[in-house]
Structure 1
Amino acid sequence: MSRKITFLTLFLWLMAVPFPVIAQQKADTTCIFRFVPQKDMFYVPWKGNDTELARLLEYIENNKATILDGKLPLLVDGYCKSQGSEVKNLATAKIRANRVKSELIIRAKIKEENFITHNHATEGDFVTVRLTVPVKETAVTDAEAEARLAAEPTVAGRRERQKAEAAAQQNTLTDTPSETKITTDNHLSLRANLLRWATLTPDLGLEWRICPSWGIAVNGSWTSWSWSDKDRRYALWEVTPEVRYYMGEKKAWYLGAMFKTGQFNYKLSETGKQGDLMGGGITAGYQLRLNKALTLDFNLGLGYLNVDFEKYEVIDGVRVRRGNETKDWCGPINAGVTLVWKLF
């Protein structure tokens, strides 16, 4: 009986030995990035994410030419199980994977086409990035291989990555596009309020998306019209800066805070009005994407506006002042159907 126990112990020990050897032969690099439960924001310094990111960037730099040629895809798996339903888990896993890919695209200067992405409503709250590099460029010790194996989330997770690796080794995944599209962290767009243009008031602006959730926009309007031998006049200029917070998975709805200032000169009847305006308030809107470059932005602003102006009449070509007035207005102060063109 003692011999049987000894033989069984020796057999089990020998069965455990090949695992680090296999890891060393395959030269797999798997980096795990942790996420806060129910959240999709990628915190780089949190839970050792900075260390994993630095290690992964080093491997990417050493194999950058092969990666950019499409011969060595990065296998990205997003995981989430802390939401209330499978649909929400998959949506959060997708955003998490995109956050990690965005960081790699910016830091390592690689492309979306260099990723193979899968999302899972199981396992936990993390994203894994796997890279199968040549043995000559990666020396994995037995201890490191055992640590990597222990860090794998579950047996099911390891099976998923083994399947992806086998497909990559057969060169069947080289031309396969990623299942998810990355959301660009920041971009610059040109804006034109079509409602303003419809009233013969040229309007142009810019918006800088600092990140998917925050943007800074500014629009300016200017016009100067006169008719009836200059007895009628319509002229103004306005500048409207705004800070926006985009919400939802697609970041289409938003709330914002705006400020408005400008001057005007209206004479549409016998009495003209010329003065200054200033105010601000909150804005809300929705962006309808038309294609990769164009978007329609529907928005409405509510708030307070102070108008200080003087009245005048024109008698024999001479402007005659008829007094001053100051008015305060609470309610709609801005509206737009704005065409947005993404520049870069």
Structure 2
Amino acid sequence: MTARKIVPVILSGGSGTRLWPMSRPEMPKQMLALTADETMLQLTAGRAFGERFAAPIVVANARHADLVEQQLAEAGATPQALILEPIGRNTAPAIALAAIAAGGGGDALLVMPSDHVIGDVAAFHAAIEAAMPLVTQGWLVTFGIAPDAPEIGYGWIQIGDELQPGVNRVARFVEKPPLDKAQSMLASGDHAWNGGIFLFLADAYLEALAQFDPGILTATQEAMDKARTEGSRIYPDAVAFAASPDDSIDYAVMEKADRVAVVPVAMGWNDVGSWDALHAISDTDGDGNAHRSHGDGNVLAIDTKNCFVRSDGVRVSLVGVEDLIVVASGNDVLIMRRGRSQEVKKLIEAMKNAAKNITPSS
């Protein structure tokens, strides 16, 4: 008997605002080559490629259609369907669109955000194989990332009883915790980070939606029934899709369903959610500096330590500084202390407010 093929579902609708100024609405972080020569989207497609996997289903923002197709073509990963959302409605509706596009039957769907790093792909594949026996029985499976810090920016998963080797029942999901709670969960040894990667049968997911969040199922089914199709591109009906609740898969399904399992895995995972996170996984020189640019000689650092520098064109020179993040893209330059890169969102909000207050000159 031939092993069941797995359909990769790549979620590529995010905006990646925390990686401004390189990540922008027209060119979000998954479309950028941040950690390798390939873009984040291309790396995601590449880790679910081969005999075990079917052609991917990609869910993306409609404005990025050409870019997604171009990058996937360059990576040799032609999608079986490119679902183009008219608006963002969070992960639960996006995955519903993919499950419906897959036929809503017994296909196994491997749901992956397009903007994460997985350093150990072999470990990831081993975790997938460990999960498949339960998946075929209708379980909803998530992958728990082995934690190495009391991270307050992630959700956590408490690992329950073992169901089979390498797979456990989810005892509970934990929202982003305060530091003291994260420290205790790390010390306990029975918690993992929630990495947002899932594996389940299309029909099992849709049945769970019907039970726990039927509004999503109704809206997405209508949006797909009325969708416009152009080749592999699928344009869900905008009015129907807009009626869908805006919920994450965790809130809509995973926290409520009974047969939910977790595969704890150490696979070099990082969600690259900030410039600090990117610095942490980048190669550094002898002084702890990480710098990468498009073009030789664009970054020069003298008597400089523990800095992260990126440029897509303009030359950046640093002398006698420490612990800085410097990112130059187009006409924008970001300079901040290391450790404060989560505050980029505040900066963007301030720029938006400043733009609103500018009155045209007469």
What range describes the TM-score normalised by the shorter chain of this pair?
under 0.3
In our comparison, the structure showing a higher alpha carbon Rg is 1
